[in-house]
Structure formats: C-alpha cells, structure tokens
Amino acid sequence: MRLFSFLDYLLETKSRPVLIEKQLRQAERVALRAVSRSPSPQIVAALAEMARVLRLWGRRETAAELDQACATLPSAPIDDDGIARDFLDIAGDLQKIHDHMRETFDVAAQDEQNFPATIDPRIYHVQLILEFFGDLTARRVLDVGCGKGRFARVLKERHPAAEVWGLDISAEMLRHVPAEIHTRQGTMTDLPFPDDYFDAAYATESLEHAVAIDTAIEEMCRAVRPEGRIVIIDKNAEQTGRLETPPWEKWFGRRELERLLGRHCREVSSEFVSYWKDVAPDGLFLAWKAVR
C-alpha cells in the first residue's frame, strides 16, 4: 500500500521532476480510490491531510473532491490504523519535498552573488518585460517567483504608480524585497490571488522550479485578466546539462510552453534572448510572451 519514500533518492540520483510527478499521480490515485470505498474515520482524517498537501502542489480538483467527500464522512484521530498511517506517510513524503525546496531557497537568500537583490535595468530580460507590458500606470503586476525582487524593483522604479506584487516560496527571499512592493509567500501552483486580479504577470527563471509546470501556467493565466499580458523567461530544454541544477528543476522546449500558454491565451509568441540586446542569443534563454 505505502508509496516509496524517495526524497533522499531524489537528491542522491539528481532525478528529473518526472519522479515527483509520478509520486503525485500515485498519491491522487490511491486517495481517490480510498475515498470511494467507505473509508474508516481514521482514513478520512488522513485523506483530509492528503487533500491539503495535494492542493499545495496544485492538484486542486483532486483536493476539492477529497475535501467534499471527507466533509460528509465521520472522522477520528489516527491511532493504530495502519492504512491511515500509510496515507499520512504519503502526504508526509510530498510535504518533505516541498519543504526541502523552500528551505533550499531560504538558504540561497544568503547568497548575494548567485541570488542578487538588484539587476542592471539595461539587461534585455528586463527591457523585454518593460516593452511588452507598456504603460503600467494604475496597473497591477505580479512577479511570480520574485526571489529578492530584483525585477519587481525595476518595474516599480520605472512605473511608480503601478501596484507591483512579488510572490515567492521563500520568506527569507521576500525579506529583501523593497517595502513599496507588495509581497505574498506562496507557490506558483496555488497562487493566493483571485481570478483576473492582475493586469500583467511575469516569471523570470522561476517556472523551472514549479515541477507541475502546466498547473503553474494555468495559475498565472487565471490570475491575469482577459487582455492582460504574460511573460515567461526561462532556459531552453535543448541546453539541458549545460548548468548544474537542483534535482527538481526543469527546462522547457519552445513549442512546449507555446502550447501550454495557448490553452489559456489568445496570442502567444516566443523568441531566443540574450542578456544584452546587442549580443546574439546563444540558445540558453527563451522568452514567451502571451496576451490572455
């Protein structure tokens, strides 16, 4: 019954995010199967915890189905029910992976060389966002996976009348974000914002950490109003292996993200980009632009 506990395995083997996705799919299957089979009150309590963790990973539909079922069933403290404890172990595995990712970025917040708080506003990644978004006066903008707010800082400086938000999984990263930028701790796969809340949103080298990439893109699009604009800048899957990366990091194919954005946006385009506009791209970075 119990799924394998694989956090140590994942870290030791540098396995790709497909392993985490596999664990999530298995967790969804066994939880839905259990809730359909008149579970004991102890298992109901365990499934409620499973729903919480699955929602953390962006499995909203499964989490909602579990919540709805558990709300109509009796629940009891988990004592010696072996199956219920198995479910808690499954949820615990997924929680540990999420916590490890968060803690990794909490530690990285002390590394100013690789995770700086500022960025040269002349860098083309910044310029592309500014040009595509246009006038942001009285507009609300979200930096998804903002880190220390280096991009958000530039947007706020260029558009003082804009309402700029930064979201990140790491509270330590958010401590470095300037006070004039609104911040919220959370995950890319479960954005803590209402539908159509932002006029624009962007993710710069952060989507690669989302694991559930399709869910993260769906969330970005959900949070942006119709006709709003979205930019994603990240690394090209054809260059995988060029840099050392954490085991959960995933790079993307050009058409792959065009297709995922195209599910929710009416206009989608992409281009290879360099750090500097007058330097030819070397194939490492891609920028995707979309209009919802």
* Contact partners, residue 111, CB within 8 Å, separation at least 6: none
Residuewise pLDDT in 10s, the chain (292 residues): 344 444 554 445 454 556 788 888 889 999 999 999 989 999 999 999 999 999 888 888 999 999 999 999 999 988 777 889 989 998 998 898 889 889 999 999 999 888 899 999 999 999 999 999 999 999 999 999 999 999 999 999 999 999 999 999 999 999 999 999 999 999 999 899 999 999 999 999 999 998 889 899 999 999 999 999 999 999 999 998 888 888 788 899 999 999 999 999 999 999 999 999 899 999 999 999 999 9
Q: Are strands 285-291 and 224-235 parallel, antiparallel or unpaired?
A: antiparallel
The structural domains of the chain, with segments of one domain joined by +, span 7-108, 124-291
Q: What is the pLDDT of residues 102-129, one digit of tens each?
A: 999 999 999 988 889 999 999 999 999 9
- Separation between Cα atoms, residue 229 and residue 62, nearest integer Å: 29
- Separation between Cα atoms, residue 278 and residue 291, nearest integer Å: 26
Q: Taking the model in full, what pTM does it have? A: 0.86
Domain 124-291 CATH class label: alpha beta
Query: What residue spans of the chain are helical by DSSP H?
Result: 7-13, 18-35, 41-56, 60-71, 82-108, 124-133, 150-158, 171-174, 213-223, 254-262
Q: Beta partners for 166?
A: 143, 183
Task: Enter the tokens of residue 115.
Answer: 């995770």
Q: Are strands 163-168 and 182-185 parallel, antiparallel or unpaired?
A: parallel
Which CA distances in Å does 201 have to 59, 69, 139, 219?
22, 35, 11, 11
* Contact partners, residue 131, CB within 8 Å, separation at least 6: none
Burial class of residue 255 in the structure, from the number of CB atoms within 10 Å of its CB (0-12 exposed, 13-18 middle, 19+ buried) = exposed
Which CA distances in Å does 24 have to 7, 30, 51, 66, 218?
13, 10, 11, 14, 18
* Strand ranges in 136-284 using DSSP code E only, listed in sequence order: 140-144, 163-168, 182-185, 198-204, 224-235, 267-273
Residue 97 CB coordination number (10 Å): 23
